[in-house]
Structure 1
Amino acid sequence: MSKLFSSIDFKRVTLKNRIVMSPMCMYSSLDKNGMITPFHLSHYISRAVGQVGLVMVEATAVQPEGRISEQDLGIWDEEHVPGLKQLNKEIHSYGAKSGIQLAHAGRKAELNTPIYAPSALPFNETSSKPVEMSAEDIKTTIEAFRNGARRAKEADFDIIEIHAAHGYLVNQFLSPLTNKRADEYGGSRENRYHFLSKIIEAVKMEWDGPLFVRISANEYHEQGNTEEDFIFFASRMKEQGVDLIDCSSGAVVPAHVKTYPGYQVKYSEVIRTKSAIATGAVGLITSGIQAEEILQNERADLVFIGRSLLRNPYWAKAAADELGYDLEAPKQYERGWN
């Protein structure tokens, strides 16, 4: 029996298989208003047709100043809900579950407006210098995540993922490379976790479904967070009721990263083992055999597929063929799949 094509439960949500469409920014909201467009409908629904178990929608900004670009999707306004709700109706019609990644870019926002961060440190020499967030700014942003969770529920998402990776705002608070604050949100790793802790608390006030968090489990810098720090963060998240940690890496500060097939899987394996929490593996996972090995050897509970699903919306079918698994086809495609 293929583990890749076995079901898995998170709270009251059952995924029909362990394949997740990894959240990937599409920069396709045309009028700078954060709205769903026809492209988004085609893009995400086609992967549900292709039998992905969970379709995770890209980083979606909880505040307009939290967008990575002016073309990002948004969930900072009630007007965003109908388009997202329509998207979910279609995703669900093909048997897939849907997730949304709630996000804030922090100092990595590329906008013609003031940008914000825990400390006034630009990402690199060509980036804008951010405004150091005040206590009131922090409070407002935490509330924005809460409202984003409420709107995600109204839009019928099954799973929420908090984006705490890739050098964006939550990651900026977690990392000693980017957080130089002297208040309750900076200094020790306990304090650096405080911002994420408050966001989780706020989200859970509106959301009782499965909650994932994506982290950058290697900062590729000798003065960055260590494996011990990430085990601490993961254990705290488990205590707070987080259901799965999605283990990516990098992008906190400029760094050269050596990539190779499955180069981030070891982070998923270590966190899963040492923190006893479910994890997702991501990063150059390209074949069914590779994904099956990760799951059978208990290195992760889910596999997040990114670029391979951009190349082939029917990656799940290709993986099933590779593993000799008889994947049920959408009825419209039965003649071609069987």
Structure 2
Amino acid sequence: MKHKYRLCPIVPIFNSVMRTRAVFVSLVLMLVFSSCTALEEAQQRRAKRILEERDATSLMLRPSKATIQIAPDALRGESDHYTLTFAEDLRVLEGFDEIAERELFTRSALGYMESLYDAMNRLFGFQPEHKIHVTLHHLYRGSNLSAVTRTDYRSGVLDGRYVKFINSIEMDFPIRMYEKHGVRVHELTHAFTNIYFLPVWFSEGIAVLIQTEYAKGGTHPKFDSLEGDLRVDLDGVNQLESWAGHTETNPLTHWRYRYAYTLVAELWERYGTDFYIRVFRLMERDGLHQKLEGTMRTSFLVYYFSEAAGEDLVPFFKKLHFKVRKLTKQDILNQIEANSVRRRQ
């Protein structure tokens, strides 16, 4: 009987030890499986770094049917509306130094950008005639924080009148910026709209609008009030008018992005989400933007805003201290005629 009493406390202890070992083994297995899962996820993220997530809420992207061709060394690819090239400083980095990696990246990137191109085409109702040439860098102009879109054009004389022709559309991305969906949308908006030689403030404002409202990737919040947050120069002119572009760096840059976005969004909300589609459609119909020297003047732009809105918007812009005057189409035609070669002779 003594042995029985002695054995009784040993049994639960033994069972407790066995349970502890079982729990320990379970924990080890969980950690092993968790580590394996984390490793697999990390490998998938790396392998799919450029296999873009097509978010239905971002410009309603659809699978592209574009034809994609990739060079044997996968240093360059081409699709219906793009070329994609790897800059030398990117080719030597891990993830881009092997042909198979570059080929995977290029095929996915071009497919994604073609889907984005189609979405932008549906949004604006037009598209550039030229292919967009994209170059990916590790650093661009010494920085990994600045993506740039350039629309190069040449000017000439046609039937005795000055006219501008688009030569090419170039986009340069540090890879860090390219991987940001909102940045790609911003720059592609430039590629679409800069064919109209827009004032900088409108070009940047509409790019931030599309980036924020459609791609949900905006970094410049709107101001509460266009009048309350207005800034003017010593001549009393709105500081947007003298904006040289996103490559300039000064204390006004962030304000300019925010104010331009606030202004463009105000008109968009007031006159409907198809307001700018109407504006560009009117510009395209007339083709007058190609016949004036240099970048489009704000008065010229406001003329088309007024046409699309169905009311005169010159007072609205004057209230915001823009240097504008009311134009008629005949005023624009007279200016084109005044710039003609025959008139100069």
TM-score of the superposed pair, with normalisation by structure 2: 0.24
TM-score under structure 1 length normalisation: 0.24
Larger C-alpha radius of gyration, 1 or 2? 2
Structure with higher strand content: 1
